[in-house]
Amino acid sequence: MDATIYHNPRCVTSRNALAKLREAGVEPTVIKYLDAGWTREQLTELFDAAGVTPGQAARKREKLYKELNLAEASDEQLLDAMVEHPVLVERPFVVTDAGARLARPVDKIDELLG
Distance CA 83, CA 46 (A): 13
Question: 11, 52, 87, 113: which is the annotated catalytic residue?
Answer: 11
Classify residue 25 as left (phi > 0), alpha (psi -120 to 50) or beta: left
Amino acid at 23: E
Pairing status of strand 29-32 against strand 3-7: parallel
Give CA–CA dist 95/46, Å, rounded: 8
11 catalytically annotated: yes
Torsions phi, psi for 38 (to 5 deg) = -130, 155
Omega of the bond leading into 92 within 30 degrees of 0 (cis): yes
Which positions are catalytic? Answer: 11
